[in-house]
Chain A
Amino acid sequence: MDPRLSEEQEILRKSARDFLTEKCPKTLVREMEKDEKGYSPQLWKEIADLGWLGLAFPEEYGGGSMSFLDLAILLEEMGRALFPGPFFSTVMLGGLPILDIGSDRQKEKYLPDIISGKTIFTMALTEASGKYDVASVKTKATADNNNYIISGTKLFIPDASVADYFLCVARTDDKAKKAEDGITIFIVDATSPGISKTVLDTIARDKQCEVVFDKVKVPGENILGKLNQGWGEVQKIIERAAIAKCCEMLGGMQVVLDMTVAYVKERIQFDVPVGVFQAVQHHCVYMLVEVEGSRAATYDAAWRISTGRPYSGEAAITKAWVSDAYQRVVALGTQAHGGVSIIEDHDMPLYFRRAKAAELMFGDARFHRKTVARNLGFKVA
């Protein structure tokens, strides 16, 4: 067993950190919160040129043929820097699913443009319930000659406002005995007639959208994977995305811990740095428990993905722990800082707000604890 990064991975981490420190300062992060697009096309091009978008894709499509573990390192750095933009959506919710289950034709058509930064993808899964379960998929796709007609409303769709394509999850057979057996994933051109998008005002100002599909015509050849058998694939996409989200969250909470420890060493009250007080020390120690636990679980899970091991159970354990952990870290971090850290122009609110958004994404702690309970043998709805 060797939990260390390889030499190449350390270099990747350092170069990513250096790049993001220079190109993605908090001023940009704040600017992008107010920006209509929510990302900088200039920076997007630069990360494409650096090969970040293609990092985990095979060389034949223009990618870097690196592992998921390498991608995990990059995501952790992006989580540290609060990188704004549709990187996560495009890679985790578009590119990698196409690589996994797309036809050769689909891979050739879409992957090179994803990797070069030309097209942005996202997945349109969640609906009015806000849940990541199969029963919540009400959007319907009805066969019409060689096409499908999709109708329904998707909610909380990340980066939909700037996406060129959606992986739209729709019900294609509502008579199937098991709800899981009637779900299909479609690659939908975002410019298709009948699609309307509204950016939602969210806690992280991260461009989650409502997307209405009103009789949107999609060619049958745009089915990703198999007709009516998409739910298993959707689950895999969510589980992997949950672990990827944990990488970002880990980066964020490490920053919160570091800045808190630095601050309590400097902040003088009662003529001493507040870090001498055990009440404050214990806050910092419990933040460390959360961060170290998140690191141990997240990288174990990322390694499992990277080496082709099963990771379904680990995804639930990891996302449950990390979701709660990030909340506790920002709560203790603000408490240790005091008033200064709840003022909007402090960095803390940036992390505080994103901790909640990330917790909700791909199932919150409660959702994943239910999965763990099922894996223990309980029948949980």
Chain B
Amino acid sequence: MDFELTPEEKAFQKEIHEFLDKECNENVVAETLSLQGAGPYSKELLRKMGANRLLAPRWPQEYGGRGMGAMAEVIKVDEITSHHAPFPLDGVELGNALLISGTEEQKKRFLPGVARGEIDIALGYTEPNAGSDVASIQLRAVDNGDEFILNGQKIYNSEAHVCEYHWLLTRTDPTAEKKHRGLSMFIVDLKSPGITIRPLYTMAGLRTNEVFYEDVHVPRANLVGEQNGGWAVIMSALYGSAVGGGMATGTKNVIDTLVKYVLEEKQDAGENPWIPEALADIYIKTRVGELMGVQAAAYADLGVIPLYGGGASVSRLLGGDTRRLLYNTAMQILGPYGQLVKDSKWAPLDGEILKEFLDAPRWTIVHGSQEIQKLLIATRGLGLPRK
């Protein structure tokens, strides 16, 4: 048993930490905190990170990675999020699936560009009538020989407006007996004629999108995996992301900020004895989730990957709950000042807490709602019966 990072991992952590200390400037941070998707400063930073092979450490060297493990991925995500550098990088996460399900030609075509920070790929699963029940998607892809013709609509595809490609789940066989057997995955150039992207905004001000497909022609070469084998590709994408909650430096920074705020600004802390214990409770939950997430990454690197039911899945569950608790508690600490929006007079802590409070529910919904996570952990992890 050994819970220390390897010297190689520590060196990578130091390298990316120092790089972002230097390169992740206030313009990038402002873009990230704006929740509007990666802007020009962010894209410039991503290209610099790519040039230093910092974006996809888990990929093989030949595709622009470093051939490191899941732990390096955890370290990268931790450094990026705690520096407020652009995130998520769905292209990197989906690249893991492409490594499993893609052809050699597809890997060569897409992975190096993602690793260099030149292209990014947006997730395209959800539709207005297919959320948790993703196998019910209707966006139709009709086989037309060398190409497919696509019609339909996706929704909540965040980052689609700043990404170059779409990782798109389509229905290729509407007659398939089981609905998940008629699905196919494509990588679609988002500049293709017939694609319209319209913004949607969350209550936190985060931009997401509706994406409409109207007679969009997609070459057969962009089909990932088997025709009608899209479900297996989705599963490989989940597999690639099964690293879990990871490290929690960003959350711990927020707790530190709140402690400082209470000690410096709230001179009546003595009259609020619940605050120290409440923040300690959140810190404990954060730290335990971090330990689970990090150990899950170590297990993954040792080839022990309990996809559901292990530390990876439960650390994500705990992380989502803890995030809600953190910002709810933070708002209680701020009292009436907490309701003041960014830039308004008297807004504490730059109005960031309010925004995160409004953004917290998103985290227990995106990438598989908590209810779906629990269903999978219960049935696949614990082996409980489905019917």
Contacts and interface: CB of A to CB of B under 8 A. Distances in A.
Given A370-B276, A376-B259, A376-B279, A1 B292 contact: no
A377 B260 CA distance: 8
Interface string B359-387: 00000000000010011011101111111
A265 B276 CA distance: 42
B314 A293 contact: yes
B249 to A, nearest CB: 15
Contacts of A369: 277, 280-281, 284
A278 B376 CA distance: 11
A292 B292 contact: yes
Interface in A331-381: 366, 369-370, 372-373, 376-378, 380
Contacts of A321: 284-285, 288
B322 to A, nearest CB: 11
Contact of A292 (B6, B294, B311, B386): B311
A296 interface: yes
Given A1-B71, A276-B386, A297-B291, A69 B1 contact: yes
Q: How large is the interface on B (under 10, 10 to 19, 20 to 34, 35 or more residues)?
A: 35 or more
Interface in A247-284: 261, 264-265, 272-273, 275-276, 278, 280-282, 284
A293 B318 contact: yes
Contacts of B378: 275, 278, 281-282, 284-285
B283 interface: yes
B105 interface: no
Given A5-B1, A292-B311, A369-B281, A378 B259 contact: yes
B382 A284 contact: yes
A373 B256 CA distance: 11
Secondary structure of the B side of the interface? helix
A9 B387 contact: no
A293 B289 contact: yes
Contacts of B260: 377
A261 B1 contact: no
B385 A288 contact: no
Contact of B255 (A280, A285, A376): A376
Contacts of A6: 1
Contacts of A288: 309, 314, 377, 381-382
B224 to A, nearest CB: 31
B291 A4 contact: no
B5 interface: yes
A265 B384 contact: yes
**CB-CB nearest 8 A-B residue pairs:** A373-B276, A281-B378, A378-B276, A1-B298, A372-B280, A373-B280, A296-B291, A275-B384
A132 interface: no
B217 to A, nearest CB: 43
Q: How large is the interface on A (under 10, 10 to 19, 20 to 34, 35 or more residues)?
A: 35 or more
B41 interface: no
Contact of B2 (A2, A284, A289, A292): A2
Nearest to B309: A288
Given A285-B374, A377-B259, A303 B314 contact: no
Interface in B306-322: 309-311, 314-315, 317-318
Contact of A273 (B3, B276, B385): B385
A233 interface: no
Nearest to B262: A378
A320 interface: yes
B382 to A, nearest CB: 5
A4 B1 contact: yes
B284 A3 contact: no
A234 interface: no
B384 A292 contact: no
A300 B290 CA distance: 11
A115 interface: no
A299 interface: yes
Given A3-B3, A373-B276, A285 B382 contact: yes
A329 interface: no
A1 B5 contact: yes
B1, B9, B304 — most chain A CB neighbours (10 Å): B1
A1, A264, A378 — most chain B CB neighbours (10 Å): A1
Contacts of B184: none
A188 interface: no
Given A284-B382, A303-B3, A317 B284 contact: yes
A179 B291 CA distance: 36
Contacts of A297: 287-288, 291
B271 interface: no
Contacts of B3: 1, 3, 299-300, 303-304
Nearest to B292: A296
A2 B298 contact: yes
B311 A296 contact: yes
Given A1-B5, A278-B375, A378-B276, A296 B383 contact: no
B382 A293 contact: no
Contacts of B371: 278
Nearest to B69: A1
Contacts of A320: 280-281, 284
Contact of A285 (B276, B295, B310, B317): B317
A377 B263 contact: yes
A378 B274 CA distance: 12
B339 to A, nearest CB: 25
B203 interface: no
A2 B292 CA distance: 13
A272 B378 CA distance: 16
9 contacts: A1-B295, A2-B1, A265-B383, A278-B371, A282-B374, A293-B288, A370-B276, A377-B259, A378-B275
Given A2-B2, A276-B386, A370-B280, 20 more contacts: A1-B9, A1-B294, A4-B299, A4-B302, A264-B384, A272-B387, A282-B374, A282-B378, A293-B291, A296-B292, A297-B291, A300-B291, A317-B288, A369-B281, A370-B277, A373-B276, A373-B279, A377-B263, A378-B269, A378-B280
